[in-house]
């Protein structure tokens, strides 16, 4: 079935804008995706007809806000194939990982080990280093293969009885490589470890079935998944959420407070101290519903057709090199490349003059850049609303950069 890209594009107002005399060719979705009308309308409805704080009020606006907020939790849960009270709203994907590092980390002791990989985003490295400084845990690293994949062949050696958590990117934000979750979960179970996936780059590409994946924690960001900024999601198995101590203290996350002691509310409330990101959460619920309405079989075929068009075009330009898998197998629509003799920032600036938005630099993945001895790459990240005109405009810009900047 052919994907209706034109109809999808019409749902995103910014894609029909002319900015500084140029059309918008937005290929920076891995940093932040654009927002459809359905999400804009959901946030506007809350802000204009139901704005109030949630959970504690008894007036009609507070009840309306609480209902919308909890409905959003249910919408996210449906998107992930889990139960609503297993969903914790956070300030973002980074905040969700930090929550796990602090709260689950409190259950770890000196000498326990966490297994990461060389291609992780800094947000899945730094919180664990901070935990190491606090508690004396150890960090092990899975190397990356030459084609930008995690080398899972080393798992049997790296997973030991001291390994308590394996935390990996579901999809690399640099190479687009999809991790073999089944292999990771099997290795973890054999060693008694838990598994967390950073789903920031996977969640924007359709609904998930987390119970089928068999992982213990899953996190993603709203702004990369066609939702507002300032909201993210942590899902964890109920027994883990209920065992973990709170990350932050304040209102809403308590059972009872006295000066002698405080008791905690059950999960997920104990992890949502203070006023949560109400409007952004409502918008994220709408984004999850919007994504569930797409034909993702057709959408994914469309996205990967654009990846093939992009890679074929880049390979015809002298001096370009793609970092990551050369085929479409077990990869998603994130493509990083280098142009010999030209800094990635200069490539991106040239592309901007053609109306093309991409990301350039180390992509918060400096250990991966060190692995390949790179200053950075130019990254193209594709969404269902992208089309051939976006890819062709990018290739025109790269050809111009190759001629004028070397």
Q: Which residues are catalytic?
A: 364
With the C-alpha atoms ordered 270, 271, 274, 279, is the resulting torsion angle positive or negative? negative
Which residues, at least 6 apart from 258, have a Cβ–Cβ distance to it below 8 Å?
none
Q: Compute the distance between CA of residue 119 and CA of residue 114 in angstroms, rounded to an integer.
A: 15
Q: Compute the distance between CA of residue 6 and CA of residue 406 in angstroms, rounded to an integer.
A: 37
N-term to C-term CA, the chain: 43
For residues 227 and 247, the answer to whether their CB atoms sit within 8 Å is no
Q: In degrees rounded to 5, what are phi and psi of residue 163?
A: -75, 115
Cis amide prior to 208 (ω within 30 degrees): no
Which residues, at least 6 apart from 48, have a Cβ–Cβ distance to it below 8 Å?
none
- Tokens 């687009």 correspond to 176
* SS3 call for 138: strand
Q: In degrees rounded to 5, what are phi and psi of residue 83?
A: -95, 145
For residues 303 and 383, the answer to whether their CB atoms sit within 8 Å is yes
Which residues, at least 6 apart from 395, have a Cβ–Cβ distance to it below 8 Å?
310, 313, 314, 317
Tokens of 311: 């890679």
Determine which helix (DSSP H) or strand (DSSP E) holds 167, and give its type and residue range.
strand 163-169
């Amino acid at each position: 079935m052919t994907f209706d890209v034109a109809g999808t594009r019409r749902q995103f107002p910014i894609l029909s804008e002319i900015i500084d005399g140029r059309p918008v060719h937005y290929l920076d979705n891995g940093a932040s995706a654009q927002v459809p009308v359905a999400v804009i309308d959901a946030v506007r409805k809350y802000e204009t007809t139901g704005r109030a704080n949630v959970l504690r009020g008894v007036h009609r606006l507070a009840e309306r806000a609480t209902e919308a907020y909890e409905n959003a939790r249910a919408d996210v849960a449906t998107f992930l194939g889990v139960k609503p009270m297993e969903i914790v709203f956070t300030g973002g994907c980074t905040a969700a990982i930090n929550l796990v590092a602090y709260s689950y980390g409190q259950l770890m002791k000196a000498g326990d080990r966490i297994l990461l990989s060389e291609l992780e985003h800094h947000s899945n490295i730094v919180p664990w280093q901070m935990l190491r400084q606090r508690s004396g845990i150890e960090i092990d690293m899975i190397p990356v293969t030459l084609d930008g994949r995690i080398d899972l062949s080393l798992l049997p050696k790296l997973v030991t009885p001291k390994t308590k958590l394996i935390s990996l990117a579901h999809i690399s934000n640099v190479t687009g490589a999809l991790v073999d979750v089944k292999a990771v979960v099997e290795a973890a179970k054999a060693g008694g470890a838990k598994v967390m996936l950073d789903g920031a780059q996977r969640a924007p590409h359709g609904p998930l079935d987390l119970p089928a994946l068999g992982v213990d924690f899953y996190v993603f960001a709203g702004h990369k998944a066609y939702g507002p900024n300032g909201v993210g999601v942590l899902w964890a198995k109920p027994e883990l959420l209920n065992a973990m101590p709170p990350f932050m203290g304040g209102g809403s996350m308590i059972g009872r407070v006295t000066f002698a002691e405080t008791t905690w509310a059950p999960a997920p409330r104990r992890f949502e101290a203070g006023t949560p990101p109400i409007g952004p959460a409502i918008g994220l619920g709408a984004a999850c519903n919007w994504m569930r309405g797409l034909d993702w079989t057709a959408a994914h075929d469309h996205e990967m057709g654009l990846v093939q068009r992009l890679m074929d075009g880049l390979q015809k330009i002298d001096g370009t090199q793609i970092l990551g898998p050369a085929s479409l197998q077990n990869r998603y629509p994130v493509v990083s490349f280098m142009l010999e003799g030209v800094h990635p920032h200069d490539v991106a600036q040239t592309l901007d003059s053609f109306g093309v938005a991409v990301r350039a630099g180390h992509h918060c993945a400096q250990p991966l850049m060190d692995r390949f001895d790179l200053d950075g790459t130019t990254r193209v990240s594709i969404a269902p609303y992208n089309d051939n005109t976006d890819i062709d405009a990018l290739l025109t810009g790269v050809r111009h950069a190759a001629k004028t900047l070397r």
